[in-house]
Amino acid sequence: MKTLRIGSGAGYSGDRIEPAIELAEHGDLDYLVFECLAERTIALAQQARLLDPQAGFDPLLGERMRRVLPFVGRGADGQRRRLRVITNMGAANPLAAAREVRRIAGELGLPGLKVIALSGDDVLATLLDDPSQTLDNGKTLASLGERLISANAYLGVDGIIDALRADADVVITGRVADPSLFLAPQIFEFGWATDDWTLLGRGTLVGHLLECAGQISGGYFADPGFKDVPDLARLGFPLAEVDATGRAVISKVAGSGGRIDTATCTEQMIYEVHDPAAYLTPDVSADFSAVSFTVQGPDQVLAVGADGRERPPSLKVSVGYLDGWIGEGQISYGGPGALARGRLAREVVLERLKLTGVAFEEIRAELIGVDALHGLELGARADSEPWEVRLRVAARCADRAEAVRIGNEVETLYTNGPYGGGGASKSVRQVVAVASLLLPRDAVTVQIHSEDMA
Amino acid sequence: MSGIKLRELAHSRTGDKGDTSNISVIAFRAEDYPRLCQWLTVERVTAHFAELLDPSGPPLRRYELPNVHALNFVLPGILRGGVTRSLALDAHGKALGAALLDLEL
């Protein structure tokens, strides 16, 4: 039976590159997928595009493509197809990203590569036809006004399948649901019907398991003495070998670091899932509730039992908007009495912000090493006082100037605060918030672009 | 069985979506799964995270995955505005699961 080997080359935009190249070189892959778009990455990219119309795609696109394209396409003899690449690194500007990939292919002496970009996920103009629509946070689009910067629908497999049919070697998308990047080549290669919900559920499980790259092969897992992972610095990225029935074996390149077993697979299957019987994507409502994993060999796990039901009627749209500024300051205290001095420093900063009338919408003042991650109640479970603590004050302000004053009040503790404060730092950043709404499918038109538009 | 911490019997991973966290609890050994189902009630986990949960928000939910001897807890609102606006040091809540493993059974 024909099988398909799909590798995962990135779990987020800034991910390591050499494990992806290791997969391309030694994974005997048919497809390599790079998933690089977190919730608000497109909103940030859209801001970059406003400043420069040729920008707005993944900053590591060029480096990744320079390293991986030599393994893509028909090669020197022009006969055997080697691996194809599917990626959402197009972010807010897939067409410009595709142009950049063609340029790099030319530089590398690979002019025959077919690079296809997908458009249609950017629905900002469509949404603005009806600004009375309400987001999941209760705000209307109209109320965001000038602060609204992006609106992108989560596309499914359709456009990617069109691109593969058009013989693409490299498919560049903007916002596409993460598992769809992996499901599309399975549908295309095996000829699955796009309403065979069981097969789509199985293929979506494969995508969900692979989409965070190293998170299934030993990353985000090691807990020394309880869960040990060999050679974490050389973590190998995962690949799946899938057959036409959706039966999949997850593995990695022999000799790479990390581990793949039922424990790593189970953690990743439940990652970012709510109801395991209804994992919604644009393509299917996938059911992972009866999945089971079986070890087939060293770092080889068989996944079976996924199912699916009819896809949701609407597409989710992620809306990015500017939402004020976060000002932050930090300073450390160490040695005997560090905790008491850290607490005093916190009181002083909060009182100073009140005295000087700094306007903020929300504030957090916490002691790193004590209560910053889990609050006071859980933080109090520590057996003894920490040797060192770090005060962190962060506040969200409507105006940048107010946000600047947060870090300044922490910094002035150097000469005005408790004994021995060291290593003060401060920062200000603009908040790009994300909310969502649902859009009917027929409001979205997906198109593929084989050549540059004039 | 008193005095045993969850960490001895299970492992965990935390994910985020909007302002909701989900925390998996996976038994190291399949035979411990029924006990986890019995002990890790919605009430106990809610009490463990009481300080961090929004008392006026929607309740915590629990899902069972017997084939992989795991539970999945969904904690709406715990990320306070979500990853993109949160003031928290760990805006994703990645470290939450580790706190749950300190629960005494």
CB pairs under 8 A between A and B: 117
Question: Is the confidence at residue A250, as pLDDT, over 80?
Answer: yes
Rounded to whole angstroms, the Cα distance separating B12 from B6 reads: 10
In this prediction, residues B64-88 reach a mean pLDDT of 93
Closest-CA residue to A420 (of A354, A334, A321, A353):
A334
**ipTM strictly over 0.95?**
yes
Residue A74's pLDDT band (cuts 50, 70, 90): confident
Report pLDDT for A75: 67
Q: What angle do CA A306, A310, A312 make, to 5 degrees?
A: 110
Average of per-residue pLDDT across A263-272: 98
Q: What is the dihedral of CA B63, A136, A437, A9, to 10 degrees?
A: -50
Q: Which of A203, A209, A211, A223 is nearest to A260 (CA)?
A: A209
Pairing of strands A285-287, A307-309: antiparallel
For residue A95, the SS3 value is helix
pLDDT exceeds 60 at position A454? no
Determine which of B22, B85, B90, B92 to mutate to test the interface with A (most A C-beta atoms within 10 Å). B85
- Cα-based angle A159, A51, A127 (whole degrees, multiple of 5): 45
CATH number, domain A319-436: 3.30.70.120
pLDDT at B76 over 60: yes
Least confident of A31-45, A71-85, A255-269: A71-85
Confidence of residue A78 (pLDDT cuts 50, 70, 90): low
Residue A431 has a pLDDT of 93
Q: Which of A238-242, A362-366, A377-381, B29-33 has the lowest mean pLDDT?
A: A377-381
Cα–Cα distance, B49 to B4 (Å, whole number): 19
Judged by CB atoms closer than 8 Å, whether chains meet at A378 and B99 is answered as yes
Average pLDDT of A131-142? 93
Chain B residue nearest residue A391, CA to CA: B89
- The residue with greater pLDDT, A81 or A346, is A346
**What is the per-residue burial (b if ≥16 Cβ within 10 Å, else e) of A206-244?**
bbbbbbbbbbbbbbbbeeeeeeebeeeeebbbbbbbbee
For A168-204, the pLDDT digits (tens) are: 999 999 999 999 999 999 999 999 999 999 999 999 9
Query: E-assigned strands of A60-205?
Result: 84-87, 115-119, 148-153, 170-172
A5: how many CB neighbours lie within 10 A of its CB? 18
pLDDT above 60: residue B1: no
Cβ-nearest to A270 among B65, B99, B102: B65
- Helix then strand then coil, in percent of chain B rounded to 5, is 30, 30, 45
Which sequence spans correspond to the domains of chain A?
Answer: 3-120+155-312, 319-436
Contact B68/A291, CB-based, under 8 Å? yes
The answer to whether residues A378 and B51 touch, using CB atoms and an 8 Å cutoff, is: yes
Residue A211, pLDDT > 50, answer: yes
Q: Are strands A170-172 and A84-87 parallel, antiparallel or unpaired?
A: parallel
- pLDDT for A453 equals 45
pLDDT of residue A413: 98
The answer to whether the predicted template modeling score (pTM) of the entire model surpasses 0.90 is yes
pLDDT at B81: 79
Cβ of B29 under 8 Å from any chain A Cβ?
A: no
| DSSP result, A383-398 | SS--SEEEEEEEEEES
Which of the two residues, A111 and A428, has the higher pLDDT score?
A428
Neighbours of A356 (CB within 10 A): 10
Q: Do A223 and B72 touch (CB under 8 A)?
A: no
Give the strand pairing for A31-34 and A115-119.
Answer: unpaired
Task: Give A282's pLDDT tier (boundaries 50, 70, 90).
Answer: very high
